[in-house]
Structure 1
Amino acid sequence: MNEPSVFSVSDVNEIIKQTFQEHFLLSNISVSGEVFGYSQPDSGHKYFTLKDDYSQIRCVMWKSKYNESNSGGNFIIEGSKIICKGYCNIYEVNGQLQLYVSRINAQGEGSLQAAFEELKVKLRNEGLFDDSRKRNLPQFPKKIVAITSSTGSVIQDMKNVLSRRYPIGELLLIPVSVQGENSIDDICDAFKITNNFSDIDVIILARGGGSIEDLWSFNDERVAKAIYGSKHPVVSAIGHETDYTIADYVADYRAPTPSVAAEIIAPDMKNVKNNINEKINTGKNILEKKLNEKFYRLDLNLEKLNNNYPDFLEMKKNIYNLISSMDFVISNTIKSKKEKITNIKNSINILNPKLSLKRGFALVRNKNGKIVNKTASISLGEHLSFELSDGSAITEVKEINQDD
């Protein structure tokens, strides 16, 4: 009995590829489905997935095919339904089945996009998007809450921006799932927690980029109502600059990315310092100009007195002596004030609680922002915030133990 032939992986994929090419239907086929996972790298080729309720297939449209057909680009939108004409074959490198697209026609909006538009109209009619209800962002926020995932680059990017631009701001993370079945409840619960604290200045609701499915939790009506019911201003930073969600329309301010959101709420302290110095210099110049004008008029009057009343020469001398004394007093006063300011700054730095935090201590505050230093002032189930040397956290009291 003859042993069966043994083929290499490349040989098998080549046989499958040849079979696809010779199949009369798969070599020229039109496929309808809903777009998701669309991307276009610098090469200009277009990659996306077509799906229906039961299956999906990867699609490729080469740049040359797109340029030849001069159609399809406007139809490849996350959530849209399209008809792709082309041929099916495998990508030999990984053996993946792909549809190589030569032409695209629109079939109508996909189910997700249709649901998005329907909810957008509903919430707009209910007034959730009205500009009149949107709040201004604080100029110098003290406590900033980020509602986002505890993993990934989003929270770290925001920390880096705040550390560079606005180190005096306190960033507090409420970790949530940003996609999946638990994400909607997580986000809504996070807003309930923030509503229990009065000392929060602004909230950033953030997530990195993704497909329309990945971002769909932020198109949920419950999340929209949670943002609308927030007691504090909300900045949305969902996905990339081209991604728009229902959350963006409800939020008080929409940022194109999480990093930009951090820049929007955090003034650059270097610029603030430069502006203050500029105003000080402007005021100094105005004061010097007015003083010079006064001295000039004084010289004119003294000259008149000198010409008409020789006896007033001594008065002129006394006046100049007085001016000299005033100048000395003013200089010493300014010097003394500067020394006092320096001493005050040093005292503030000594009293800065963050120095103690770096030694392993923590500041505990209740929901009203008051410092907690006794177990008698807390209760089971209460949410407390812990300020550490590099940030803060919120916890729930599960057990209370008192020292004898």
Structure 2
Amino acid sequence: MNEPSVFSVSDVNEIIKQNLQEHSLLSDVSIVGEVFSYSQPSSGHKYFTLKDDYSQISCVMFNGQYNKTNSGGNFIVEGSKIICKGYFDIYFQYGKLQLNVNRVKAEGEGSLQAAFEELKARLENEGLFDESRKRYLPEFPKKIVAITSSTGSVIEDMKNVLARRYPIGELLLIPVSVQGENSVDDICDAFLTTNHMSDVDVIILARGGGSIEDLWSFNDERVAKAIYGSKHPVVSAIGHETDYTIADYVADYRAPTPSVAAEIVAPFVTNIIDKITEKISTGEKLLRNKLDEKVYQLDLNLEKINNNYPNFVDLRKYIYNLLSNVDLIINQSIRSKKENIKNFKNSISILNPKKTLKRGFALVRNKNGKIIDSTSNISLGERLSFELSDGSAITEVKEINNDDK
């Protein structure tokens, strides 16, 4: 009778590992369960256990996988119910079976919506949504900060709106990831940066449309508290008009789209001129009414004096001459103000970059949206965008020539 084969521990583990890799189901499997025993050491790997009512499975999501966009690693939260996609392997040193996770998603939108409602209720109870703490937007902002992706249509749409409506305002882009594992940290860091900037007038936090999973970073408690702690007014513009995120409830103002957000913070320059003109016109009417009232009272008093003291006729003529001079001075002042408004309109028209672009010039920006006005601000190989009168183009710097050399 043959004795059964004797294997070393390593041999057995190797056989198990090979069988797991060759098994079609276990090499690509999706498992639903509840997260517990979650930990993330300094290595960045995520270790957790998936369980149901009867059993449990050890899981790991390695740092390299976690940092991939759309891996869904931010859904791994203690007590949450998730679906993990990956493959089974054996931790060779200890012979431990584990699921190597490469993709995570919440178990349907129902659980995401439940998590959203729970966080919304808690933050509302903490006072983060109170209308009394929300700030007014500045009427004429000088510096507008956009916290959004440096690529895509969102930032370009906002640039176009501001160039058309409010060319005298400055738009500063702080580029961030708007979805994926790094997005929450990026957004929080951006608000921390703006809190150290004293010349910011208003902030637009923007992202284009997407699924509830795509927008989930804006439902993160850390982002909500970063908005709440902002030293400057914040306008949120996340997704489409029907999309509401926690960020929208915390922000000082919510816009249905990024383009509308730009319109909200940037008044039409022509509207500014109209307001100034209206105020001057109103002041002119009030001044004339006051003057007419005083002239009427003076007429009554002079009539009394003339009736009782005939020798005061010369005084009456003197006062009338004086009033005529006052009226002349007022008219000259009004004409001067109107001329100033006309000059202001001409200056605004000259400042409009679109008119300059139509004459064959181009507006050059770096990847952060900053305008380039000197060769000292560019480097070889850098990609620049050229804004022309009818669109834009991307180019790469091949050679730099300095006129001073």
Tell me which residue corresponds to 2:237.
237
CA contact (8 A) 2:165 2:266 kept: yes
Matched, 1:297 2:297: yes
Matches within 5 A, 1:274-289: 274-289=274-289
| CA shift for structure 1 position 183 | 2.0
Partner of 1:91: none
The aligned residue for residue 184 of structure 1 is: 184
Matched with 1:372 is none
Counterparts in 2 of 1:306 and 1:171: CA distance versus 1, 3 Å:
same
2 CA distance for matches of 1:238 and 1:296?
61
- 1:8-53, CA deviations, whole angstroms, 9 ceiling, x for partnerless residues? xxxxxxxxxxxxxxxxxxxxxxxxxxxxxxxxxxxxxxxxxxxx94
- 1:215 CA displacement: 0.9
Task: Give the whole-Å Cα distance in 2 for the aligned partners of 1:329 and 1:203.
Answer: 45
The Cα of 1:329 is off from its aligned counterpart by 4.8
Aligned residue for 2:178, secondary structure, equals coil
Hey, what does 2:219 align to over in structure 1? 219
Q: Secondary structure at the match of 1:157?
A: helix
SS in 1 for 2:147: strand
CA deviation after TM superposition for structure 1 residue 332, in Å: 5.1
**Partner of 1:193 in structure 2?**
193
Trace 1:339-354 onto structure 2 (pairs within 5 A). none
The Cα shift of 1:222 comes to 2.6
**1:337 CA drift (Å):** 7.5
Distance 2:250 2:309 in 1: 79
Shift of 1:243: 0.5
Alignment of structure 1 residues 252-401 onto 2, 5 Å: 252-331=252-331
Shift of 1:330: 4.8
Quick one: distance in 2 between partners of 1:172 and 1:318? 62
Percent identical:
72
Deviates further, 306-315 or 165-174: 306-315
Give RMSD over aligned pairs. Answer: 4.3
Quickly say closer, same or farther: Cα 1:203–1:321, change in 2 above 3 A. Answer: closer
Q: Counterparts of 2:258 and 2:341 in 1: how far apart (Å)?
A: 37
Q: Which moved more, 1:115-124 or 1:163-172?
A: 115-124
> Match for 2:190: what amino acid?
A
CA distance in 2, matches of 1:259, 1:249: 19
TM-score by length of 2: 0.54
Counterpart Cα distance in 1 of 2:181 and 2:292: 73
- In structure 1, give the amino acid aligned to 2:279: K
In the alignment, the residues of structure 2 paired with residue 267 and residue 320 of structure 1 have an alpha-carbon distance, to the nearest angstrom, of 46
What is the aligned partner in structure 2 of residue 65 from structure 1? Answer: none
Shift of 1:196: 2.2
Equivalent pair of 1:80/1:113 in contact (CA under 8 Å): no
Structure-2 change in CA distance of 1:80 and 1:335 (3 Å): same
Q: In the alignment, is the contact (CA less than 8 A) between 2:277 and 2:341 conserved in 1? A: no
Cα distance 1:320–1:200, how it changes in 2: closer, same or farther (>3 A)? closer
Distance in 2 (alpha carbons) for counterparts of 1:282 and 1:333: 14
Aligned to 1:154: 154
| Preserved contact between residue 210 and residue 239 of structure 1 (Cα < 8 Å) | yes
Match of 1:87 in 2: none
* Distance (Å, rounded) in 2 between the aligned partners of 1:318 and 1:235: 61
Alpha-carbon distance in 1 for matches of 2:133, 2:325? 59
- For the pair 1:246 / 2:239, whether they are aligned, the reply is no
- Supply the distance in 2 between the matched residues of 1:124 and 1:184 (Cα, whole angstroms): 20
Look up the equivalent residue of 2:110 and give its one-letter code. Answer: G
How far apart are 1:247 and its partner, in Å?
A: 1.5
Shift of 1:209: 1.0
Deviates more, 1:268-277 or 1:148-157: 268-277
Cα deviation 1:149-181 (Å, max 9, x = unaligned): 122221122222223333322110011121223
In the TM superposition, residue 344 of structure 1 has moved relative to its aligned partner by 10
Change (3 A) 1:200 1:332: closer
| Count of aligned positions | 268
Query: Within 2, Cα distance between the matches of 1:54 and 1:226?
Result: 30
**Structure 1 unaligned blocks of 5 or more:** 1-51, 56-78, 82-108, 363-404
Could you tell me which amino acid in structure 2 is paired with residue 317 of structure 1? Answer: K
Shift of 1:116: 2.1
Instruction: Give the C-alpha shift of residue 259 in structure 1.
Output: 1.7
Q: Is the 8 A contact 2:83 2:107 kept in 1?
A: no
Q: CA shift at 1:217, angstroms?
A: 1.6
Q: Which residue of 1 aligns with 2:173?
A: 173
Residues 266, 301 of structure 1: alpha-carbon distance in 2 compared, 3 angstrom cutoff: same
Aligned to 2:99: none
User: In the alignment, is residue 121 of structure 1 matched against residue 113 of structure 2?
Assistant: no
Does the CA-based 8 Å contact 1:207-1:237 persist in structure 2?
Answer: yes
Q: Distance in 1 between matches of 2:124 and 2:130?
A: 7
- C-alpha distance in structure 1 between counterparts of 2:161 and 2:142, whole Å: 15
Instruction: Tell me which amino acid in the other structure corresponds to 1:185.
Output: D
* Residue ranges of structure 2 left out of the alignment (5+ in a row): 1-81, 86-105, 365-405
| AA partner of residue 206 (structure 1) | A
Q: How many Å separate the matches in 2 of 1:336 and 1:216?
A: 56
Offset from partner CA, 1:218-272 (integer Å, 9 cap, x none) = 1222322322332222211101111111211222222221122222222333333
- Give me the whole-angstrom Cα distance separating, in 2, the residues matched to 1:237 and 1:323: 57
